[in-house]
Structure 1
């Protein structure tokens, strides 16, 4: 569905933002793109959308070259950027203006998502808070039914109840012919949503693994004392003892803690990454 071959991108000569990336994204999956500030996450997303162009290599999305920005391509791709500017119209006018570009726009789904987010339909966009505006855009993005859905920091600006609503709206809405990529620093907001985790560091993908394989290789659990378990790969102090990431030697089932996993990889690359190359 999305194929990147030897993709290289930079904003200025001698400073590579994306370095020789080899990536494939499949339909029917939600990908979580993680990385520190400046790792190249937004640049990767914008190359996929055709808003930035690679200096070398190829990017193919549904058979299209995104850089050509063909209408048939744009109708099947929706990007929700981190920063946005909305016109001075109400929600109904916004839909009338922009929905016709997307042939599969689902008005009923848009209304359902707004209901979950508790956003009144008859509102001026400029009268809404930043968080409410983002809820409208998330609802619109999903209602386009575009085959490629890309969200850059979608939960920034959302309060705790709204983040719960976000997870409810996203869960179960993806069709088999769609692919969703979510880039975020709010890692905990993606728990239970993600099918596959990608970690980008210094312009390279250092890990790309399904959640099922991560929990097959690693165990995430709480212990009262580090002395009661074999030496973990990574640990953090918790309210009651320690939260740890350990090699899953007993084939136990545990729930992926996305934030713990990301922190563990960043701190203990030499210990963790080799587990996924065997």
Structure 2
């Protein structure tokens, strides 16, 4: 579905944002694109959407170069940006005007999302809070039934109950044909939703694995005292002791703490890479 080869991108010659990036993404997955602010996540999504053009390399979506912005690609791609503006329409008017661009748009699905989010379709978009507007475009994007949905920090502005509702409706909208990419630095918000995990740091992909593989290779434990062991990859202080990541030498698969995994990779990536090479 998405094929990225040797992608390089910069806004100026002095500071490259994406460096020689290679990546293939396929339908049937909800990818988590994780990274700190400034890691290059939003820039990567914009290159996939054809909103930015590669300086070197290529980005192909459905077999076409993304920067060509062809109709057959655009009608199958929906972008939920972190920052956006909406017209002074009611939600009903917005759907009537914009849904026609997406051949498989489901009004039933959209209004189901509105009900889940407790939004009145007669409300004017300009009268809604930022979080409420975010819910509208999330619901619209899922109801578009596009095969590619790009979400940039979709949980920003959502309260705790809304984040739970977000995870529920995204999971229920996933199919074998659709590819979702959720870019976020708020790791906890997408736990138990995403798989595979992609982590970016300083414009490079430093980790790309499934939860199954992570569970086979790494073990996550909490100890009352700091553990001194050659198998320890990473540890950090938590309530009640220390959260520890070790190489999984038992072969027993266990649960994964996504936030601890993210911290361990960004601080000890060489150790992690060595384990996954074995």
TM-score (norm 2): 0.96
CA distance in 1, matches of 2:59, 2:207: 20
Structure 2 match to 1:53: 53
Alignment of 1:164-183 (within 5 A): 164-183=164-183
Residue of structure 1 in register with 2:262 after alignment? 262
In the other structure, the counterpart of 1:204 is 204
Residues of 1 paired with 2:271 and 2:230: CA distance?
15
Aligned residues: 278
Structure 2: state its 5+ residue gaps: none
User: Conserved in 1, the CA contact under 8 Å of 2:206 and 2:269?
Assistant: no
Q: Secondary structure at the match of 2:64?
A: coil
Q: Do structure 1's residue 187 and structure 2's residue 187 form an aligned pair?
A: yes
Matches within 5 A, 1:86-101: 86-101=86-101
- What are the equivalent positions in structure 2 for 1:23-42 lying under 5 Å apart? 23-42=23-42
Q: Check if 1:220 corresponds to 2:235.
A: no
1:221, 1:245 within 8 Å by CA — same for their partners in 2?
Answer: yes
CA distance in 2, matches of 1:46, 1:236: 34
Superimposed CA distance per residue, residues 63-82 of structure 1 (whole angstroms, 9 cap, x where no aligned partner): 11111111111100001000
Structure 2 counterparts to residues 1-278 of structure 1, below 5 A: 1-227=1-227, 232-278=232-278
Q: Quote how far apart the aligned CAs of 1:42 are.
A: 0.7
Aligned equivalents of 1:239, 1:55: Cα separation in 2: 46
Distance 1:21 1:231, change over 3 A: closer
Aligned residue for 1:171, secondary structure, equals: helix
CA RMSD of aligned residues (A): 1.5
TM-score, length-scaled by structure 1: 0.96
Q: Deviations over 1:170-213 (max 9, x none)?
A: 11321111101010011001111111111111211111111111
Runs of at least 4 residues off by over 6 Å: none
User: What SS is found at the alignment partner of 1:172?
Assistant: helix
Shifted more, 98-107 versus 217-226: the winner is: 217-226
